[in-house]
């Protein structure tokens, strides 16, 4: 007998309330784990941050490829460039952005 534990929260769910309002931190979390549960989308209006990133072309909504209760947001090429630029700026400024 095997046990399979499934959390209905992706990595983005573990961001703090403040981090969930920061588009770059949400983008980075989704780059690491593109799945978000439908319940987490409502927490602290996370959906607003995510869909702002979709509108800017930094994320692609691929939720239709997922089963309930999951949503999937894939980081686009432009999104990966934005993450790289953020990391570069962070390193250039001695770790302070």
Quote the domain boundaries for residue 36. Answer: 11-92
Are 9 and 32 spatial neighbours (Cβ–Cβ below 8 Å)?
no
User: Quick one: pLDDT at residue 5?
Assistant: 52
CATH number at residue 36: 1.10.10.10
User: Quick one: pLDDT at residue 10?
Assistant: 81
In a domain, 47, yes or no: yes
In a domain, 66, yes or no: yes
Q: What digits encode the pLDDT tens for the residues 50-81?
A: 999 999 999 999 999 999 889 999 999 999 99
Q: What digits encode the pLDDT tens for the residues 8-53?
A: 678 898 999 999 999 999 999 999 999 999 889 888 789 999 999 9
User: Quick one: pLDDT at residue 4?
Assistant: 47
CA distance 63 to 30: 13
């Amino acid at each position: 007998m095997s046990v399979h534990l499934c959390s209905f929260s992706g990595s983005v769910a573990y961001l703090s309330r403040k981090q969930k309002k920061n588009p770059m931190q949400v983008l980075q979390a989704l780059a690491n784990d593109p799945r978000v549960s439908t319940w987490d989308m409502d927490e602290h209006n996370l959906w607003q941050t995510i869909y702002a990133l979709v509108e800017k072309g930094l994320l692609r909504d691929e939720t239709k490829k997922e089963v309930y209760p999951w949503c999937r947001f894939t980081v686009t090429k432009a999104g990966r460039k934005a993450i790289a630029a953020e990391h570069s700026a962070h390193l250039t400024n001695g770790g302070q952005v």
